[in-house]
């Protein structure tokens, strides 16, 4: 009788585990087919039930590896949606990070991991924190909380470890994909949009300006006598000037504006909902800021000036995204002929 009972229990346990593995296979297939947002929505809808815990949360590390920020969770509290805090504020997550292994606690309220932050909503003591990593690099943690479904056994913990590895692979793939996209769309020297990405943004902003009948301005910026800087001080100093100019231009623009490295010593700006006369005010502010404060370089302070050409979509002949660039280039050429270190609009 005892042996029959044990046999039935083992059979039931095997059947349950088989069902979980089948669900895991389907989950993994779906993860590999979905896009970024859809995957995290799938995590939110299915991860807790798949593992067998009450709640989960996934935190990633910021670029400095000094703070955790929430990626996705299925907790009831909405305040978790934008949660970010230093590593030291969560001892259990910090220990998982330092050990590079899972940290299990079945009596959390009496453990060393309790902090001064009291949460009234959840009273359970079960907590399992698993590292998310790619090789030896840890980039986040998976937190599992609550044991009302009886997850807390050796099979459940092994299953959770397997889940954490799948989640790690999925998130790491997305991180690498985003990094590759960023590298493909940005200029290596300045971190600004590169020329190809600028043209994509230009076409999009131009179509938007036509659709909503809003004016769009363009400014082309050129560093005056840049060849002389390179010849006198070397290309490393020239690169320093380009990088510093990128920083100064960025600080002077709105969030809705677009700034790109147009090529060599030239930059391009797009200013939505801005007429050329207002763009001239912006251009003059940029020009003055550059001219007044010398650029600090390894060769010492260097005085730099810029010339700017301005156009907008209201000008005669601007009937395409290309034409707004043609007009801005013409204005730049005219301003340079007139002596450089000035901003110009070609009204012809």
CA distance 210 to 230: 41
Quick one: pLDDT at residue 23? 66
237: Cα within 13 Å, side-chain hemisphere: 19
User: Predicted confidence band at 257 (pLDDT cuts at 50, 70, 90)?
Assistant: very high
Quick one: pLDDT at residue 163? 86
Average pLDDT score over residue span 91-112? 89
User: Predicted confidence band at 30 (pLDDT cuts at 50, 70, 90)?
Assistant: low
State the total domains in the chain: 2
Task: Looking at the structure, tell me whether residues 243 and 339 fall in a common domain.
Answer: yes
Average pLDDT score over residue span 64-74? 91
Quick one: pLDDT at residue 17? 57
Strongest mean pLDDT among 33-37, 163-167, 185-189, 260-264: 260-264
Task: Looking at the structure, tell me whether residues 114 and 18 fall in a common domain.
Answer: yes
Taking only the tens place, the pLDDT of each residue in 182-196 is 777 889 899 999 999
Average pLDDT score over residue span 148-170? 83
User: Predicted confidence band at 5 (pLDDT cuts at 50, 70, 90)?
Assistant: very low
Q: What are phi and psi of 43, to 5 degrees?
A: -55, -50
Quick one: pLDDT at residue 10? 53
Task: Looking at the structure, tell me whether residues 105 and 228 fall in a common domain.
Answer: no
Average pLDDT score over residue span 36-50? 80
Decide if pLDDT at 8 tops 70. no
189 within some domain: no
CA distance 223 to 340: 9
Q: What is the CATH number for 213?
A: 3.30.70.270
Task: Looking at the structure, tell me whether residues 200 and 264 fall in a common domain.
Answer: yes
Contact 69, 139 (CB under 8 A): no
Average pLDDT, the chain: 87
190 within some domain: no
Average pLDDT score over residue span 68-76? 90
Q: Under the phi-then-psi rule, with left for phi > 0, alpha for psi from -120 to 50, and beta for the rest, what region is 315?
A: beta
CA distance 153 to 161: 12
> How many whole angstroms from its chain centre is CA 161?
27
Question: What strands lie across the sheet with 343-345, from one edge to the other?
Answer: 258-263, 266-272, 216-223, 306-312, 343-345
Percent of the residues in the chain that have a pLDDT greater than 70, as a whole number:
86
Taking only the tens place, the pLDDT of each residue in 212-243 is 999 999 999 999 999 999 999 999 999 999 99
* 291: its two tokens: 């001219």
Domain that holds residue 172: 2-180
Average pLDDT score over residue span 257-264? 95
Task: Looking at the structure, tell me whether residues 233 and 321 fall in a common domain.
Answer: yes
Q: What are phi and psi of 76, to 5 degrees?
A: -75, -25
Task: Looking at the structure, tell me whether residues 233 and 167 fall in a common domain.
Answer: no
How far is it between the farthest Cα atoms of the chain?
A: 104
CA distance 223 to 252: 17
Beta bridge partners of 344: 309
């Amino acid at each position: 009788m005892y042996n029959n009972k044990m046999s039935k229990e083992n059979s039931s346990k095997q059947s349950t585990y088989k069902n979980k593995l089948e669900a895991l296979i389907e989950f993994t297939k779906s993860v590999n087919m979905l896009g970024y947002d859809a995957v995290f929505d799938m995590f939110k809808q299915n991860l807790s039930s798949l593992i067998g815990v009450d709640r989960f949360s996934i935190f990633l590390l910021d670029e400095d590896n000094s703070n955790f920020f929430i990626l996705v969770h299925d907790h009831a509290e909405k305040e978790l949606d934008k949660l970010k805090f230093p590593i030291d504020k969560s001892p259990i997550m910090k220990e998982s990070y330092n050990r590079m292994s899972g940290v299990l606690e079945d009596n959390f309220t009496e453990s060393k991991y309790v902090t001064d932050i009291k949460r009234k909503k959840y009273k359970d003591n079960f907590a399992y924190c698993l590292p998310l990593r790619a090789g030896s690099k840890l980039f986040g943690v998976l937190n599992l909380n609550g044991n009302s479904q009886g997850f807390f056994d050796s099979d459940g913990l092994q299953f959770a470890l397997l889940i954490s590895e799948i989640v790690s692979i999925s998130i790491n793939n997305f991180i690498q994909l985003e990094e590759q996209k960023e590298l493909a769309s940005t200029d290596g020297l300045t971190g600004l949009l590169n020329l190809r990405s600028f043209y994509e943004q230009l076409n999009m902003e131009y179509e938007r300006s036509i659709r909503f009948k809003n004016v769009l301005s363009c400014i082309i910026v050129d560093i005056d006598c840049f060849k002389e800087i390179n010849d006198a001080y070397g290309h490393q100093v020239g690169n320093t000037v380009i990088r510093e100019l990128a920083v100064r231009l960025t600080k002077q623009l709105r969030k809705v504006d677009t700034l790109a490295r147009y090529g060599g010593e030239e930059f391009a700006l797009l200013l939505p909902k801005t007429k050329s006369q207002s763009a001239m005010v912006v251009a003059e502010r940029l020009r003055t800021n550059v001219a007044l404060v010398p650029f600090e370089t390894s060769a010492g302070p260097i005085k730099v000036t810029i010339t700017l050409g301005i156009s907008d979509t209201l000008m005669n002949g601007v009937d395409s995204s290309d034409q707004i660039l043609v007009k801005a280039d013409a204005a730049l050429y005219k301003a340079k002929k007139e002596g450089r270190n000035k901003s110009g609009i070609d009204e012809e």
